[in-house]
A and B are shown apart, each in its own frame.
Chain A
Amino acid sequence: MKTAVVVFPGSNCDRDLAVALELITGVKPAMLWHDDTELPAGLELIALPGGFSHGDYLRSGAIAARAPIMREVIEAAGKGTPVLGICNGFQVLTEAGLLPGALMRNAGLDFVCRDVALEVVTTETPFTKGYQPGETIRIPVAHHDGNFQADADTLDRLEQQGQVAFRYAEEVNGSARQIAGILNAKGNVLGMMPHPERVVEQAHGNTDGRKLFEGLLNVLA
């Protein structure tokens, strides 16, 4: 499976994501820089990592979302290429208009950094095929701006159309309807605040993130 990780100035989970992708797909991902203006041919997954792109200046993900490479990512997403945004990557996807809503400052104002319980809400996507519907998994979060907000109509639509991928099974950051991860209408773009790439091998103490990447591999390979 041919994958790529997009690196922005201030990304800091790009290497972890690359290590996880290589571990599971057996192939080193292409590392793309924010300034790049084209994508390698034949990509089967584009991954946007966590971190603090551009120092979270203006709004988290706002400046990265307007980077040259993002024009290519938006075009590829439109053509159906799977795009996964984790943490800051999720913020970038909302700022780029690939996903609805916005990620605001955590309701408690704290930076939240711990393992959280998540419910897998839908398994009808390549990203979540590896899980059981309703399964509870534990994935770490580490964010200050993870409070997902959208207007009531958008939230209703997300729920009715099966676009909520993951929900927090506990209070984490004040997100509307406990939403932890959402899909676009076509189901090929997933944004999530928790970090599946941090729980893919036994040494991590938990491998609940592994099924996300394995599910993708099974669908796409």
Chain B
Amino acid sequence: MKARVTVSLKPGVLDPQGRAIQHALEGLGFPDVAEVRVGKVIELDVADGTTEDQVADMARKLLANTVIENFKVELA
């Protein structure tokens, strides 16, 4: 089965990459983008029966740095 962990910067944490992308979008004729935040999606192929808690544990221990990032776990 697949698990998907979405890692995003916490609100308020400065995202210089997001800001650069926003400026580039502006240059491409998309002036109405107020903010861009860059995160990551990590897809895991895990054993059947793996629980959301187990994947969340992986996220807390490695996949996300909870000092600056939030994460969301989805099982499919």
B20 touches A66 (CB 8 A): no
A66 touches B67 (CB 8 A): no
Bound complex: CA A66 to CA B61 (Å)? 9
For chain B, the count of residues having a C-beta within 8 Å of the partner chain is 11
- Cross-interface CB contact of B14 among A100, A101, A174, cutoff 8 Å: A174
- Cross-interface CB contact of B13 among A66, A95, A109, A149, cutoff 8 Å: A149
For chain A, the count of residues having a C-beta within 8 Å of the partner chain is 20
B65 touches A106 (CB 8 A): no
B62 touches A149 (CB 8 A): no
Bound complex: CA A108 to CA B68 (Å)? 19
A104 touches B20 (CB 8 A): no
A150 touches B20 (CB 8 A): no
- Cross-interface CB contact of A104 among B61, B62, B68, cutoff 8 Å: B68
List 13 interface pairs A-B (beta carbons < 8 Å), by A numbering: A58-B63, A62-B65, A66-B61, A101-B67, A104-B13, A104-B14, A107-B14, A107-B16, A147-B14, A149-B13, A149-B68, A174-B14, A174-B16
Kindly name the residue among B13, B20, B62, B63 whose own CB sees the greatest number of chain A CB atoms within 10 A: B62
Q: Which A residues lie within 8 Å of B61 (CB)?
A: 66
Q: Which B residues lie within 8 Å of A100 (CB)?
A: 67
Q: Does B17 contact A (CB under 8 A)?
A: yes
Q: SS class of chain A's interface: helix, strand, loop or mixed?
A: loop
Kindly name the residue among A95, A101, A105, A174 whose own CB sees the greatest number of chain B CB atoms within 10 A: A105
Taken residue by residue from 42 to 66, chain B's Cβ proximity to chain A (1 for < 8 Å, 0 otherwise) reads as 0000000000000000000111010
B42 nearest in chain A by CB position: A58
Bound complex: CA A149 to CA B16 (Å)? 13
Bound complex: CA A95 to CA B68 (Å)? 11
Q: Does A102 contact B (CB under 8 A)?
A: yes
Q: Does A59 contact B (CB under 8 A)?
A: yes
Contact A109 to B62, CB < 8 A, known contacts A101-B67, A102-B67, A102-B68: no
Bound complex: CA A58 to CA B67 (Å)? 15
Bound complex: CA A48 to CA B13 (Å)? 27
Please give the distance in Å from B41's CB to the nearest CB on chain A.
13
List 16 other contacts, CB 8 Å, given A58-B62, A149-B13.
Answer: A58-B63, A59-B65, A62-B62, A66-B62, A94-B67, A101-B67, A102-B65, A102-B67, A104-B13, A104-B14, A105-B16, A106-B16, A107-B16, A108-B16, A109-B16, A147-B14
